[in-house]
Chain A
């Protein structure tokens, strides 16, 4: 059974770069696509983007200029970098994997990690 676990700093200063890692256990990262989704406190869900194991990627246009998702197959991890953060980027960040046969229905989620942007 595939499990995902997010890790990274819980506090980031404004204008700096948010960096998170998702560790995949129980399966190989060299299949499927790998996605980041976030949820500001008390608000709804926002898809950030994904990267396929082949290296192709897609990002939410609202974040595209600031986001990079990358895969590290040697560590079975994938990462999120979000540059020039502001308070609006404060959220719980989830990593997720889609259901087999789909690209956009997420059946495996990490527990989420809260990131606060504050000086």
Chain B
């Protein structure tokens, strides 16, 4: 299977901070990489698909980049509602897999 390694596993940040989360694939997945936000007790919410495409309705402070094996989710100015856990997820070759998650906490 193609594995995803997400880092960091957690981070503390303040409102207004720029936050970057990385996701590395064990093989080339082109741009079949998606990002989700999950809040406690809720289903994940799609933020970014195909590495860099912003899902409809998602604020523009969220952006994604990368291709091949290295990908990044950036939150340009962290807002109070952004404190959550973020997951990357790949497609391309079955089975689809998820990163282990990054918990973004309030500093």
Q: A interface vs B, CB < 8 Å?
A: 44-47, 58-62, 94, 96, 99, 102-107, 109-112
Contact = CB atoms under 8 A, between A and B. Distances in A.
Interface of B: 1, 32, 34, 36, 42-46, 49-50, 55, 87, 89-92, 94-101
Given A105-B34, A105-B91, A45 B46 contact: no
Given A44-B101, A45-B87, A102-B49, A109 B96 contact: no
B98 A103 contact: no
Contact of B95 (A47, A94, A110): A47
Contacts of B43: 94, 96, 109-112
A104 B34 contact: yes
Contacts of B87: 44-45
Contacts of B92: 104
B98 A46 contact: yes
A6 B46 CA distance: 19
